[in-house]
Chains A and B, each alone.
Chain A
């Protein structure tokens, strides 16, 4: 069975500061890795994904995540956050393409001016 752990339930940061949201997973087989974001009063949106190839993946709004197989991690980083990044972020894995997603508990990112 697979599991995902997001180590921080809440992360408060000031605008323009760097941020890292941590995600570790457990699986006996290879997995695909995802970060989803849920803005207030909206559904989940895919932020970025790792399927294969380069272990560093980037989103269009400046987030990046690096797949580290030896540490079974997929931490999400942004060098300078904006107020608009305030949202809840979910790390997820799946073992087959098109299969179910297994989510972590979520991390609430709160960006303050």
Chain B
């Protein structure tokens, strides 16, 4: 069974440009999470989808970030326009939607560098 995949693995863009990150969760996982790690700091939660609905978007830093999950399958995270402080590693995770505890499985991350 394929794990969580993320594309691209690396992205280098200029300040002011737009970048779109993609996450494909494990098949059948209704929960999808985005996290970000800025250099040298902790991994921070961005938002949580349950199927196609945003369950919790309390971690989204500002309105330059737009996350979508049309159809409840893969998700995209768009940064427009990108700023220098957006550089970091963006992780996606997914889990099942069952009663009780469901492990979050993480993708390898997308390393974003804004110059």
**Interface set of A (CB-CB < 8 Å, partner B):** 4, 32, 36, 41-46, 49, 51, 90, 97-106
Contacts and interface: CB of A to CB of B under 8 A. Distances in A.
23 contacts: A42-B108, A43-B91, A43-B106, A43-B107, A43-B108, A44-B43, A44-B91, A46-B103, A46-B104, A49-B103, A97-B100, A98-B31, A99-B48, A100-B33, A100-B58, A100-B59, A101-B35, A103-B35, A103-B42, A103-B43, A105-B41, A105-B42, A106-B43
User: What secondary structure prevails in chain B residues at the interface with A?
Assistant: loop
A21 B84 CA distance: 32
B56 interface: yes
Contacts of A51: 101
Given A42-B108, A43-B109, A45-B106, A102 B97 contact: no
A101 B109 CA distance: 16
A20 B34 CA distance: 29
B87 interface: no
Given A90-B43, A103-B43, A103-B44, A98 B4 contact: no
Contacts of A90: 43
Contacts of A105: 41-42
B102 interface: yes
B74 interface: no
A7 to B, nearest CB: 13
Nearest to B48: A100
B102 A98 contact: yes
Given A44-B91, A98-B31, A98-B101, 9 more contacts: A43-B3, A43-B4, A43-B107, A45-B106, A46-B104, A49-B101, A100-B56, A100-B59, A101-B45
Contacts of B102: 97-98
A49 B100 CA distance: 14
B101 A32 contact: yes
Interface in B37-73: 41-45, 48, 56, 58-59
